Structures are given as C-alpha cells and as structure tokens.
C-alpha cells in the first residue's frame, strides 16, 4: 500500500487497512476527541438556536392595533360567544371589557369609544 498522511500529526505512514487515518494510537485518541468536540459544539449551537427561537413568556408580544371595522366585528363576536355560553349553562355572568358590561345594548360602540379615548 502507499503511504498516507496522518490526519492529526501530519506524518506519513503505511496504513494497516484502507480506512486508516491515524499513524498511532495516540493520534487516533486525539482524532476521536477532536471529532467529539466538533459534535458537541454543533449540539450546543443547535440547542442555543432552539432556545433563542422560544418566546420568552415574560415578554408580552406587541399587538398591532386593529382597524375599527375589525374591532367592531371582534367585540360583536365576543358578546355573542359570552351570551351563548351563558345560555348554554343557564348562568348570567358579569363580564366587563374596559369597564363596560357585555349585557349593555350598545356594548361594542362603547368599548370602541373607550379604546379611542385611551389612545389619545
């Protein structure tokens, strides 16, 4: 067989098999340690990246301001859900949004006005 270069120390040696990369037992151990180091470095980087992807529960996500049409629809649907739930369980709750109770006739309009006041 022809001589090949050791992956660790760079010395030329005659391999005992076609897959040999190292000239001695010491170089083989050093190579294994180096490969393990690279593997662990990749794992730590992947773990760090995964950790950075997770949203911190202590930081509230920034909510975009909804358009007034969407707000009106949102609070109309919200009122329907609350009233349907009350009817289902035969129970009258006291649900307040911005200090306005859901059972008021013009609940949606009052909430939107209150939100507009606060944004000024």
Nearest Cα residue to 1 out of 14, 11, 13:
14
Q: What is the pLDDT of residues 43-60, one digit of tens each?
A: 999 999 988 887 766 766
Nearest Cα residue to 102 out of 94, 114, 112:
94
In a domain, 49, yes or no: yes
In a domain, 79, yes or no: yes
Q: What is the pLDDT of residues 65-104, one digit of tens each?
A: 666 668 888 888 999 999 999 999 988 888 888 888 988 8
In a domain, 60, yes or no: no
> Structural domain tally of the chain?
2
Q: What is the pLDDT of residues 6-41, one digit of tens each?
A: 999 999 999 989 899 999 999 999 999 999 999 999
In a domain, 59, yes or no: no
Cα 48 from chain centroid? 12
- Residue 68: exposed, middle, or buried by beta-carbon count in 10 A (0-12, 13-18, 19+)? exposed
In a domain, 58, yes or no: no
- For the chain, what is the largest distance between any 2 Cα atoms, rounded to a whole number of angstroms? 94
Domain residues for the domain of 80 are 68-119
The reply to whether 43 and 82 lie within a common domain is no
The reply to whether 78 and 111 lie within a common domain is yes
Nearest Cα residue to 111 out of 101, 86, 119, 120:
101
Global pTM value: 0.43
């Amino acid at each position: 067989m022809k001589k090949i270069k050791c992956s660790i120390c760079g010395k030329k040696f005659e391999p005992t098999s076609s897959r040999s990369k190292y000239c001695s037992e010491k170089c083989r151990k050093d190579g294994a340690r180096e490969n393990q180091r690279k593997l662990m470095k990749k794992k730590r980087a992947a773990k760090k990246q995964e950790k950075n992807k997770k949203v911190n529960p202590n930081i509230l996500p920034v909510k975009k301001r909804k358009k007034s049409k969407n707000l009106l629809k949102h609070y109309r649907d919200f009122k329907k859900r609350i009233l349907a739930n009350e009817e289902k369980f035969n129970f009258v709750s006291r649900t307040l949004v911005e200090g306005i109770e859901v059972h008021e006739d013009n609940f949606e309009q009052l909430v939107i006005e209150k939100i507009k006041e606060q944004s000024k």
